[in-house]
Chains A and B, each alone.
Chain A
Amino acid sequence: MIHTRRLTRHFRVKGGGTVAAVRGLDIDVEAGELVAFLGPNGAGKSTSLRMLTTLLAPTSGTATVAGCDVLADQAEVRRRIGYIGQGHGAGHHFRVRDELVTQGRCYGMSRAESRARADELLAALDLLSLAKRPAGTLSGGQRRRLDIAIGLVHRPRLLFLDEPSTGLDPQNRANLAGHIRRLREEYRTTIFFTTHYLDEADAMAERVLIIDHGQVIADGSPGQLKAGLAGDAITITVDGELDAKRAADLAGRVPSAREITTEATTVRLRVPDGEAVLPEYLRALDRAGVRARTANLTQPTLDDVFLALTGRSIRDGSPQ
């Protein structure tokens, strides 16, 4: 569905010189995938998305989207994809239903077909009571639902969403996530969304591409990324320093254990599959006569993954 090779975009900056927002992006997304494009602000997510959706011409490299080249066959790419941007799709002064009908007309649907589709989507996204309201008078959550409805008018096989949940409250975020999942389940739509919310990428995506400084630095399912790059942290406390030393020795016998540290009566270790290791480890301690006072398992977040990869937290803001 999406294939890019060395996709690059430079921007001219004030005072001369250029800055590379996206450098040599190689992405392959197959039909039916649900992919999150995760990175801090300024990492190049939106620039990449704008190139994939024909809004911005690449400086170099190629991108094939839904089977068509983004430069050579812009019109066909536009026909085949759906795009829900960061802003609001519906114009401020335009009525909700009018904008949906217009969208159908933009994709070459007949008047009758556009109206029928508009009504279908108004019902599906719980917008029927707002149909005659100017879009500018809707609440944030309502407008986002309308944005989704507009993006779905032509039933795209591939849908791009740019920071879909920015500015939404938790309830509306959950609501949005539900709509996206339903799209996937009911229509097998390929979905590619950008986000800087770690929990959102973690909860929604089957595959996460982490981007930093315009390059993809990690690619995998949230589970794989966390297991491969960070691992789970196990922390136990015991009764005395002697027991702690024995506990650390036993930890050393766990084949996958890394980073074993002892500090007074506390022992820490990292393993890729903490949920399986922890009970085993506790049983081993029992057998050796070491009494564990507390046991704690911390599973890593995608932020830990980002930290392990870059040395920075994703929340630190834009990279320099």
Chain B
Amino acid sequence: MNVIANTGTAFAREIMPTLRNPAGLLVMMAQPLVFLVLFGSLLTATGDESPWPWFVPGILVMMGLTGMSGAGYGLHVELLGGSLERMLVTPLSRTAMLVGRTLKEVVTLLVQAILIMVTAVPLGFRPHTAGALAGLAVIAVLGVGLGSLSFALVILTKRQPELFWGIQQVLLFPLLLLSGVLLPTDAAPGWLRALSGVNPVTYIVDAERALFAGTYATASVWYGLLAAVAIAVLGLVLGTRAMRRASL
């Protein structure tokens, strides 16, 4: 059996509950929606310029970051419940198990991202169509990496979900706050700006803002793409390695 067919099997299994109950997607979107409507609208009061071209791409990255880093939740439930063990004893390729799961998370992330964008239009958001598509593609690449890393962390922390969440939170919030998704880091103290400069998510956020505005061939777009690809490669390497060695 080849890995591609196996990936299809793993993907089909994972996506099925979402297809059967699509309303679940909306529940997962509560947090970014709250930020979009309550925080974003607050920003409209702070200046003459519309905050949406700047704020919406950031919210999408934030959603990718929180959603995908927590993607391991489902796998952890399966690890504790016994269904992961059952899958590991089947001949299904373990690489396919990881990739299929990650793809499912990326697909749901993209659907959520599109819903957020559509919600933002009545608020005054006017994205550049081709740029927005390119921006979604970069978010998908980032999502592949973060999802795989999240799954690797589940395998690593085994039967200790509290350890998984501890590590996820410790990594998530600094990455998020230092990336300038909610407020610009331009006016930040020097040490904070330095930290922000070594945060790969910063470059992805900058690239998203450029892409959604319809600018492509700028350095920030390339840096962002590079950061996303690097995270994806790292995630896939660590994720497949963890899954292949998983003995629970």
Residues on A lying within 8 angstroms of B by beta carbon are 50, 53-57, 75, 78-79, 81, 83, 85-95, 98-99, 102-103, 105-108, 134, 150-151
Contact = CB atoms under 8 A, between A and B. Distances in A.
A88 B83 contact: yes
A107 B91 contact: yes
B189 interface: no
Contacts of A102: 9, 12-13
A102 B83 CA distance: 12
Contacts of A92: 77-78, 81, 83
Given A78-B90, A107-B90, A151-B86, 18 more contacts: A55-B88, A55-B247, A57-B247, A83-B89, A91-B78, A92-B77, A93-B77, A94-B13, A95-B17, A95-B20, A102-B13, A103-B90, A106-B9, A106-B87, A106-B90, A106-B91, A108-B1, A134-B17
Interface in B1-39: 1, 9, 12-13, 16-17, 20
B163 interface: no
Contacts of A85: 82, 85-86, 89
A87 B20 contact: no
B82 A86 contact: yes
Given A94-B16, A95-B16, A108-B1, A55 B248 contact: yes
A88 B82 contact: yes
Contacts of B85: 55, 85, 87
Interface of B: 1, 9, 12-13, 16-17, 20, 74, 77-78, 80-83, 85-92, 247-248
A50 to B, nearest CB: 7
B91 A89 contact: no
Contacts of B90: 78, 103, 106-107
Contacts of A50: 247
A88 B17 contact: no
Contacts of A89: 82-83, 86
Contacts of B83: 87-92, 94, 99
A150 B247 contact: no
Contacts of A88: 81-83
Candidate in A79, A86, A93, A107 with the most chain B CB atoms within 10 angstroms: A93
Contacts of A93: 17, 74, 77
Contacts of A95: 16-17, 20
Task: Report the 4 A-B pairs with minimum CB-CB distance, sorted nearest first.
Answer: A87-B82, A89-B86, A106-B90, A91-B83
Nearest to B17: A93
A104 to B, nearest CB: 10
Nearest to A136: B81
A79 B17 CA distance: 27
A54 B82 CA distance: 15
A85 B9 CA distance: 22
A90 B83 CA distance: 5
B14 to A, nearest CB: 9
Contacts of A79: 91
Given A95-B16, A105-B12, A81 B89 contact: yes
B91 A108 contact: yes
Contacts of B247: 50, 55-57
A53 B78 contact: no
Contacts of A78: 89-91
